[in-house]
Structure 1
Amino acid sequence: MNIKQYLDSTYLKTAAQAGLSEEDNNTIVKGFIQEAIEEGFKLIMIRPDKVKMAREMITAAKSKLLIGTVISFPEGINSFEEKLAEAQKAIEDGVDELDYVCNYEAFKNGNSELVKKEVYSGTKLAFDNHKVAKWIIEVAALTDDEIIKLSALIKNVIITDFKEECYANVFVKSSTGFYKTENNQPNGATIPTIILMLENASPLPVKAAGGVRTYEEAVAMIRLGVKRIGTSAAKTIANGEIATGNY
C-alpha cells in the first residue's frame, strides 16, 4: 500500500492562530508544500490565500502534487453566494480540490433546503471547472443521527443531479479540525463516525480528517473504505511514527 497517495498534507492555521507573523507563517506553509512535493503526497491542503503560491512552487518543481483549499472555513456559515465567490477565486489561483464546510448549523436547525442548495451549487461549480468537491460535515458538532442524515443528504443531492461517473469526485469529509469540543472529546475522525459516514454516503467516497495520528490508524481507516486522510503530520504517519498534534 502506498499510503502517501491517501494523505492530504494539511496546514490551515492563519498567522494569528499560529501566533506568528505573516512572514513566518508563510515560511511554514512553504515548508509544508515543499515537503509534500518531496514526499510524493497526494495533495497539499492550505488556506485560499496560499493557493497561488503553492501553484507556483509545484509548477516550478514539475510536480504532480494536487492543491486543495477550504471554503467558508471553519464555521461554514457563509451564504452560498459567498462560498461560490471564494471557490471561484481559488479556481482562478490554480486549486484542484475544493473542501467546502457544509452549513451544518443550518442543517441542525432544520434548514435542509439551504444545505441542498449549497451542495448542488458548490459541486456544480467544481465540476464546471473540472475540480473535485468535498463537503465537510463536522462530525464533532453532530449526533450520530445527524451524521447519518447529513451524509445521506449530500449523497442524495449528488445522485439526483449529477451523472454516475461524477460520484468519485465528490467526497463527504469528517472534520475541519478546528471545532472546539467539551472535555477533550475527539473533534475529528473516529472509527464509529467514519463507519456511519461510509454506510450513508456511499457511493460517494469519504475523507477522514483530523484524529488520525499513526500509520496503523491510517491503515485502519483505509481498510474501512476511506479514500483520503487529512493530517498535519503526513510525513510522521508515512514514516510509521506517532503524531502529537490534534489534526
Structure 2
Amino acid sequence: MSIKTYLDSTYLKTPEQAGISNSDTLDKVRALAVEAMENGIYAVMIRPDYVRSVRELLDENKSDVILGTVIGFHEGTYDLNEKLREAQKAIADGADELDFVVNFEAFKKGEIEKVTEEIETCTTVALREGRVVKWIIETAALSDEQIVAITQLIRDIVLEKIGEQYASHVFVKSSTGFYKTPNGEPNGANEHVIQLMLDNAGPLPVKASGGVRNIEEAKKMIRLGVKRIGTSSALAIANGEQTSGGY
C-alpha cells in the first residue's frame, strides 16, 4: 500500500484565518505544491484564488501532481449561480478536481429539489470539462440518518441523471475540516461516518477528509474502502509521524 497515492495535501486557510498576507498565503500553497512534487504526494488542494499560480508552477515542472480546489467553501450555502461562477473560473484557471460543499443546511431543511438541482448542475458542468468532482457533505453537521440520505441522494443523481459511466469521477467526501462543532467535538472523518458513507455511496468512491492524523488512521481508512484522504499533514503522515490539530 502506497499511502502517498491516496493523499490530497491541503492548505485551505484564508489569509485572514491564518493571520498572514495574501502573498504569504500564495508562498505557502506554492511550497505545498513543491513538496508534493518532490515527495510523490498525489494531489494538492487549495483555495480558488491560488489555482492559476499553482497550475503554472506544476506545468513549468511538467508535474503530474493533481491540482484540486474547493467550491462554496466552507459553509456550502452559496447559491447555485455563485458556485457555478466559482467552478467555471477554477476550471479556466486549470483545476483538475473540484470539491464542492453541498448545501447541507438546505438539505437539513428538507429543500431536496434545491439540493438536487445544485448537485446535478454543478456535477454536469465539471464533468463536461473532464474534471473530477467531489461533494463534501459535512458529516459533523448531520445525523447518521442524514449522512445516509444525502450520500444516497448524490449517488442516485449521478446514476440516474448523469450516467453510471461517470460514477468513478464523482466522490462523496466527508468534511471541510472547518465546521465548528459543540464543545470542540471531532469535526472530520471517523470510522463510523466513513462506513455509513461507504455503505451508501457505491459505486461512487468516498474521500475521507478531516481528522486523519497518522499513518495508521490513514491505513484504516484505506482498508475500509476510501479512495482518497484529505489532510493538511500529508507528508508527515506518509513519513509515519503523528500530527495534531488542523485539517
One-letter identity of the residue aligned with 1:79: D
Structure 2 residue aligned with 1:235: 235
CA deviations on 1:37-89 (whole Å, 9 max, x unpaired) are 11111110000011001101101111100110000100011111111111000
Question: Are the counterparts in 2 of residues 144 and 196 from structure 1 also a CA contact under 8 Å?
Answer: yes
Shift, 1:245, TM fit: 2.5
Question: Are the counterparts in 2 of residues 233 and 245 from structure 1 also a CA contact under 8 Å?
Answer: no
Question: Are the counterparts in 2 of residues 232 and 245 from structure 1 also a CA contact under 8 Å?
Answer: no
Partner Cα distance (2:161, 2:100) in 1: 18
Question: Are the counterparts in 1 of residues 75 and 101 from structure 2 also a CA contact under 8 Å?
Answer: yes
Partner Cα distance (1:24, 1:99) in 2: 24
One-letter identity of the residue aligned with 2:64: K
One-letter identity of the residue aligned with 1:178: F
Structure 1 residue aligned with 2:159: 159
Partner Cα distance (2:224, 2:178) in 1: 24
Shift, 1:29, TM fit: 1.4
Structure 2 residue aligned with 1:196: 196
Q: Secondary structure at the match of 1:183?
A: helix
Shift, 1:162, TM fit: 2.2
Identity %: 55
Structure 2 residue aligned with 1:180: 180
TM-score of the aligned structures, taking structure 2 as reference length: 0.98
Alignment of 1:104-123 (within 5 A): 104-123=104-123
Name the Cα RMSD after superposition: 0.7
Partner Cα distance (1:217, 1:185) in 2: 18
Structure 2 residue aligned with 1:70: 70
Q: Secondary structure at the match of 1:175?
A: coil
Question: Are the counterparts in 1 of residues 120 and 162 from structure 2 also a CA contact under 8 Å?
Answer: no
CA deviations on 1:195-243 (whole Å, 9 max, x unpaired) are 0000011110000000000000000000000000000000000000111
Q: Which runs of 5+ in 2 are unaligned?
A: none
Q: How many residues align?
A: 247
One-letter identity of the residue aligned with 1:141: A
One-letter identity of the residue aligned with 1:13: K
One-letter identity of the residue aligned with 1:239: N
CA deviations on 1:2-59 (whole Å, 9 max, x unpaired) are 1111000000011110011112222211111110111111110000011001101101
Partner Cα distance (2:164, 2:23) in 1: 44
Alignment of 1:47-86 (within 5 A): 47-86=47-86
Partner Cα distance (2:162, 2:153) in 1: 14
Question: Are the counterparts in 2 of residues 9 and 232 from structure 1 also a CA contact under 8 Å?
Answer: yes
TM-score of the aligned structures, taking structure 1 as reference length: 0.98
